Structure 1
């Protein structure tokens, strides 16, 4: 009997992806050492494991081709997959050159799909060397995820792989590889650039849309949203998330704002700016706290994209009922009925956060909208 073809899965993990998020560095490019010195812990291996866990029932049908150690070998082996190492890194920590070399080495295995774990910088590295016909899928682990080649969550990436292994018809599409200038990003300016396209499974339930560019221009709507939130600010501590909609609230309060960071406000006065995950956890301990956040236009994420300072521990400490979501109706309509998404890094918390929320869309103006990760709905 002819042996059955096993699914050839390539795996490349950027171990440094997302390091800067929780410690308020707004990225990892060129600042990994500083992030580690501030106490950041690598998240990419965990997020890789969350994606691969969906394949464990198919372990006898999958062969993983990967790179040594933290680049993929350790996670795949620990989960029990048959693993072949085709690239050996010379040193640790690894670099973008290792990612590119690993992609080239894995090409010899005639992969059915290349799964990579990282952020927009990792997507750029993969794009720069991968064959244009190779099907890829990104597992989000970076601080910034503008590219359309990523699943909405690690669990969603696993769902896509399950579809393929179940033999379901999965169409393919070419999705944008995007990245921003991290130096400008840390200074509060978003400069996104399109670098090209990679081929990904066309599963709109599980693959994220490319972010909408530009800032909100409807100043009257933003002013109304700001007025509504400010009118209801009492004695609690307010954690003010990132984004232009929240920035409009800070502007109306007459307070400086970390557009791409997280600030603390109490009694309508600035308490602290651009805090890390640990600083936020300590500051809000044992006192009533509310969290003001908005969504990323086009994607719908409210947690897990550019605001990793809002850790699972912090969200649990604050409580679901103390989350205030602000958004213009324009941004909500642009989702075309797709739900808001949470990707906190803790799948159990993500499931707990699902449900309907009252979104502040103006002065005394609200809409009910659901948080419902599609990958958790089955």
Structure 2
């Protein structure tokens, strides 16, 4: 039995975030503003705010690993709380810049962070978004003068509570949150000029208010219909992409929605709503998909939550390595995930290094434009 992979939390602090707020400087962007604020006696608050978030996780320290940035960009507050951490980036200067934030984010992604928890304001969110895009989920601890972006929780402690839910195996929703920032120069002149900079994947408390409810419970049939609508919409948006359809009844529902014959215990390949290959072998799959843009559609199979290695051995390690984790669409109803009782999803590709590389947070499609984050090992 391979050892369970612990959740990897990336911790990043912009130590100067919000430093100009108390002095009515209308922001903290730019070295001159930070120097002015420090000269006027401003006290950095971002680490204290990250501390409020991380303090909610102290009792669960054995459940996760922290990867962070040297000194006041994360290491200091982790050590102050007695949370073991591994430093993956060290800035060259004490007064860090946006380039340090972006370099740190790259290192956290390379370390395999399942979630990047960062403290800052809208400027920090912009820097994080520039690197992350949709590669890993993020969660912002509000610490800046400007908090217009939707990636931040309402309080620092709330951020810790969301992470705690993820660690305990509770279902946590995922949504695309907007990153916005205002022009500080215009703001100091009394004008609010806000600009959209992108979206990032953000976890938040799971809500059950949705159209597919019946008597407070999910209707399995309606939920499956919603999942099918989500997947077929993606297919319409990517007409040149090959979709490899794995085994299982949830994937079979998508094939039925498309009006295509399905191999319930096999693997089929489709494009533009047409069946290209049926019940393919591992070798055939490698040949058919070679040189194409590909997405794999799979579901959670078996009572132990297997994604690979149970009924879909045609999805070889060679194919999955070539594909990449970011091109895997995992489908499951929330009821099916809840039946796991907090146990992680299982990866059993036959290649332990590949299992390790793919382990961590997966975005699970649970309805129409409805996703949850769930851990796989």
The alpha-carbon distance between structure 1 residues 146 and 204, as it changes in their structure 2 partners (threshold 3 A), is farther
Q: Secondary structure at the match of 1:3?
A: coil
Q: SS state of the match for residue 21, structure 2? A: coil
- Determine the structure 2 residue equivalent to 1:168: 170
Q: Which residue of 2 aligns with 1:124?
A: 126
Report the counterpart of residue 18 of structure 2 in structure 1: 18
After superposition, what is the alpha-carbon deviation per residue over 1:290-326, rounded to whole angstroms, capped at 9, x for unaligned?
xxxxxxxxxxxxxxxxxxxxxxxxxxxxxxxxxxxxx
- Give how far 1:54 is off: 0.3
Aligned to 1:64: 66
Partner Cα separation in structure 1 for residue 49 and residue 70 of structure 2: 18
Q: Which residue of 2 aligns with 1:73?
A: 75
Residue 146 in structure 1 maps to residue 148 in structure 2 = yes
SS class of match (1:66):
strand
The separation in 2 between residues aligned to 1:137 and 1:107, in whole angstroms, is 14
Q: Following TM superposition, by how much is the alpha carbon of 1:82 offset from its aligned partner in structure 2, in angstroms?
A: 2.0
2:66 is the counterpart of 1:38:
no
- 8 Å contact from structure 2 (residues 171, 206) kept in 1: no
How much has 1:204 moved relative to structure 2? 7.7
- Identify the residue that residue 202 of structure 1 maps to in structure 2: 204
Residues in 1 aligned to 2:154 and 2:57: alpha-carbon distance in whole angstroms: 17
- Give secondary structure in 2 for the equivalent of 1:17: coil
Greater radius of gyration (CA): 2
1:9 is matched with 9
Q: For the residues of structure 2 that align with 1:89 and 1:204, how far apart are their CA atoms?
A: 36
Q: Which runs of 4+ in 1 moved over 3 A?
A: none
1:89 aligns with 2:86: no
CA contact (8 A) 2:15 2:73 kept: yes
2:57: which partner in 1? 55
Distance (whole Å) between structure 1 residues aligned to residue 136 and residue 49 of structure 2: 22
1:105 is aligned to 2:111: no
What residue number does 2:337 align with? Answer: none
CA–CA separation in structure 2 for the residues paired with 1:202 and 1:84: 26
SS in 2 for 1:91: coil
Question: 2 CA distance for matches of 1:37 and 1:185?
Answer: 22
CA offset at residue 4 of structure 1?
Answer: 2.5
Match runs of 1:1-378 below 5 Å: 1-30=1-30, 31-203=33-205
Decide whether the 8 Å contact of 1:23 with 1:39 is kept in 2. no
Q: Work out the CA distance in 2 between the residues paired with 1:74 and 1:16.
A: 14
TM-score when normalising by structure 1: 0.53
Number of aligned residues: 205
TM-score by length of 2: 0.53
**Separation of aligned partners in 2, 1:13 and 1:180:** 21
Which string of whole-angstrom CA distances, capped at 9 and with x for unpartnered residues, describes residues 100-141 of structure 1? 000011111111100010000000000011151310000000
Residue 347 of structure 1 corresponds to none
Superposition deviation, residue 44 in structure 1: 0.2
**Cα-Cα RMSD:** 1.3
Answer whether contact 2:133 2:199 (CA < 8 A) is retained. no
Deviation at 1:27, TM superposition (A): 0.7
SS in 1 for 2:172: coil
